[in-house]
């Protein structure tokens, strides 16, 4: 008993020292696999809490590994951007093996690629707590589970990251999660392949949350091209787009089995290239403002849109750190959602961005991960003309409301950005007129909508000037 107490006391002292010691900054100075200045050496010599940086001279150079990197301490590995800091396992095992009993390994701004293993975790094989930010996990292969990332008994937080082009011989082409808690936000899981179930994500006994994410082009030989869930656990999708995934025979997007449960909120599940949108729809709960393309998700909320083509563009670089599916003009997901408190979509673009000519389901927010933006600055006569048309629809040709807009149109048609401040003045006069009519000839909701659109135009003028987008 005394010996056990002494050991525990020693462990506590070490933990206290580790938690109070000042974190150091260590710098990787070459692309060698061993020796002073190498990534492997820097990680091995780091203390818990240290930060590992990369010298700018290494930008764009491959760091080629001879064996997996072992990370067994809570570190921050901070790359200079996924296009600049590239760690390549050269098909000699996983890129990283993470074994952290305490704390979190935080990796940011790097690409992890070239992993190849007969076992689990082609890119990352993890136990413990792992955070990925602004990373790319791509081109990795596992003969077992988790082509991109394998996590068992731990926690995973992924943000602004792309997990793509990974392959698993068993389950979880992109990610395999078991007995874990995982959160993905503003990220894309795309074009991953599983020879069994869960082309994009395989989730077992896991609490998984996805917010403002895109799952696209993933495939599974059997079930769950996008996501496969089994043996308890929960999955929540909020503001996500799940499209163009495939499986044979069912659950092209989402397949939920064995006491699992899925909750959907303001998400698109549609346009799969193989299999139905959902399997196990009775295990899916809708919180509203969702859209599916074939009715298989059994959406029951009155604000849902069922059995409808979402009308999406292909997976592409639409701005922001990760690729997305754009909502195409006139699509049913535009202004059909509700996102109180949100300010940006997956790309970081403003949300909501109300389209005047489209009726709002609630606050003008779109369904899915992508927020359709009215042209950054359409031809000015059109941008103010849309507001003019809205007035005609709401209250008719009220001269006191129309006059300031006519003045603004005249100034903007001239195309001289030096007069933009005068146009802004007329728009502000329009806002004042709207406020005068609030609760009189305009309802509160009508006044709010007119003012929001006028403020959007003012913001665009302040950003871009009237010359931007002129026809």
Residues of the chain with pLDDT > 70, as a percent, come to: 85
- Average pLDDT on 18-41 reads 88
- Predicted pLDDT at 283: 81
- Predicted pLDDT at 467: 35
- Predicted pLDDT at 219: 95
Confidence of residue 108 (pLDDT cuts 50, 70, 90): very high
- Predicted pLDDT at 288: 97
- Predicted pLDDT at 470: 31
Confidence of residue 85 (pLDDT cuts 50, 70, 90): very high
Res 383 pLDDT > 90: no
Confidence of residue 388 (pLDDT cuts 50, 70, 90): low
According to the per-residue pLDDT averaged within each range, which of 152-166, 252-266, 454-468 is highest?
152-166
Domain positions in the chain: 119-292, 380-464
Res 465 pLDDT > 60: no
State how far the alpha carbon of 22 is from the alpha carbons of 47, 122, 455, in Å: 10, 34, 48
Res 18 pLDDT > 90: no
**pLDDT tens for residues 403-424?**
887 787 777 777 666 777 888 8
Q: What is the pTM of this model?
A: 0.79
**pLDDT tens for residues 212-232?**
999 999 999 999 999 999 878
**pLDDT tens for residues 114-152?**
999 999 999 999 999 999 999 999 999 999 999 999 999
**pLDDT tens for residues 233-245?**
999 999 999 999 9
Res 24 pLDDT > 60: yes
- Predicted pLDDT at 370: 97
Look over the chain and give the mean of its residue pLDDT values, rounded to a whole number: 87
- Predicted pLDDT at 181: 98
Res 22 pLDDT > 60: yes
- Predicted pLDDT at 12: 43
Residues of the chain with pLDDT > 90, as a percent, come to: 64
- Predicted pLDDT at 394: 63
Which region among 181-190, 218-227, 391-400 has the lowest average model confidence (pLDDT)? Answer: 391-400
- Predicted pLDDT at 376: 47
Interatomic CA distance for residues 68 and 89, integer angstroms: 7
According to the per-residue pLDDT averaged within each range, which of 192-196, 374-378, 465-469 is highest?
192-196
């Amino acid at each position: 008993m005394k010996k056990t107490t002494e050991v525990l006391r020693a462990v506590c002292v070490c933990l206290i020292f580790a938690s109070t010691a000042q974190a150091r900054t260590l710098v990787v100075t070459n692309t060698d696999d061993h020796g002073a200045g190498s990534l492997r050496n820097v990680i091995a010599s780091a203390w818990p809490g240290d930060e590992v940086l990369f010298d700018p001279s290494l930008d764009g150079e491959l760091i080629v590994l001879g064996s997996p990197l072992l990370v067994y301490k809570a570190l921050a590995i901070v790359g200079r951007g996924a296009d600049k800091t590239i760690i390549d396992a050269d098909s000699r095992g996983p890129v990283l093996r993470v074994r952290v009993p305490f704390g979190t390994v935080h990796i940011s701004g790097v690409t992890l690629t070239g992993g190849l293993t007969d076992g689990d975790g082609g890119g990352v094989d993890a136990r413990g707590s792992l955070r990925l930010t602004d990373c790319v996990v791509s081109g990795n292969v596992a003969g077992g589970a988790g082509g991109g990332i394998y996590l068992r008994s731990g926690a995973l937080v992924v943000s602004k990251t792309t997990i793509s082009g990974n392959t698993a011989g068993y389950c979880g082409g992109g990610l395999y999660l078991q007995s874990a808690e995982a959160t993905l936000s503003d990220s894309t899981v795309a074009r991953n392949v599983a020879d069994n179930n869960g082309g994009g994500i395989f989730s077992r006994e896991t609490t998984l949350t996805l917010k403002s994410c895109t799952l696209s082009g993933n495939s599974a030989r059997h079930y769950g091209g996008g996501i496969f869930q089994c043996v308890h656990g929960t999955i929540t999708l909020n503001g996500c787009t799940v499209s163009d995934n495939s499986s044979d025979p069912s659950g092209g997007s989402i397949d939920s089995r064995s006491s699992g449960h899925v909750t959907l909120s303001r998400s698109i599940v549609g346009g799969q290239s193989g299999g139905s949108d959902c399997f196990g729809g009775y295990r899916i709960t809708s919180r509203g403002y969702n859209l599916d393309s074939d009715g298989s998700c059994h959406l029951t909320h009155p604000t849902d849109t069922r059995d409808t083509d979402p009308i999406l563009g292909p997976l592409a670089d639409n701005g922001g750190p990760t690729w997305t599916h754009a909502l195409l003009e006139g699509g049913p997901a535009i202004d059909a959602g509700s996102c109180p408190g949100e300010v940006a979509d997956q790309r970081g673009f403003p949300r909501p961005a109300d389209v005047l000519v489209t009726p709002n389901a609630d606050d003008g927010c779109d369904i899915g991960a992508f927020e359709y933006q009215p042209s950054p600055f359409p031809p000015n006569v059109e941008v103010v003309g849309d507001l003019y048309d809205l007035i005609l629809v709401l209250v008719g040709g009220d001269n006191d409301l129309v006059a300031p807009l006519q003045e603004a149109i005249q100034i903007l048609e001239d195309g001289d950005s030096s007069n933009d401040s005068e146009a802004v003045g007329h728009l502000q006069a329009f806002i004042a007129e709207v406020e005068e009519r609030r609760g009189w000839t305009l309802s509160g909701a009508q006044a709010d909508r007119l003012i929001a659109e006028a403020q959007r135009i003012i913001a665009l003028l302040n950003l871009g000037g009237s010359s931007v987008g002129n026809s």
